[in-house]
Amino acid sequence: MDEDSRPTGAPGDATWKKHTSGFDRVQSVALTLTEPRTAGWIADEALVAENTARRHLQRLVDLNILTAATDSDAVTYYPDPVYVRTREVRALIGEYDQDGLTALAADLKADIETWREEYDTAGPETLRQQAVDGTVSANEARERRQIASDWEHTRYRLSLIEDALDRYGEFTSRPAPA
């Protein structure tokens, strides 16, 4: 079955197929993965035949956009971490100038300092431990798990912003005309 003969089911599937190439649909699905998935799973989500998905997935692996893993019985695919990080840094540089990035970094650092002081802990790992060790109520445990998750996300965003600031000149400079 080729990609154009796959049935559509959900509202919007036909429109997505009509206005988006099979490659773009496979890439779109693959880049939103939070866990490795097989070509068959991606094919179903992207509304393409499995052999079409495999061909497009291999191209994305060759381009270092995806990573393929053969840890189990089937090959699974997931977004390449270096590609994702570079794309996120590029998006930050596109959205903020150096002053904006610096201000954003300061805000995120302030959030981390507030959590450190409020929970008297060095990091989210301790909050997660407190949430499971039975020393806090169920509501406090839920709150600590949420704060731990927010803290981890904030640390990650801060690392992206620091990368963006470190490489700002490199990513924003234009080569001189020849």
- pLDDT tens digit string along 15-58? 888 899 999 999 999 999 999 999 999 999 999 999 999 999 99
pLDDT average, residue stretch 59-82: 93
Q: Could you write out the DSSP letters of every residue in 94-148?
A: HH--HHHHHHHHHHHHHHHHHHHHHHT-SSHHHHHHHHHTTSS-HHHHHHHHHHH
Of the candidates 26, 37, 43, which has an alpha carbon nearest to the alpha carbon of residue 72?
37
Largest alpha-carbon pair distance within the chain?
Answer: 67
pLDDT of residue 173: 81
Confidence of residue 1 (pLDDT cuts 50, 70, 90): very low
Sequence ranges of the domains in the chain? 3-79, 83-172
Q: Are 107 and 66 in contact (CB under 8 A)?
A: no
pLDDT of residue 25: 96
The model carries a pTM of: 0.75
For domain 3-79, give the fold: Arc Repressor Mutant, subunit A (1.10.10)
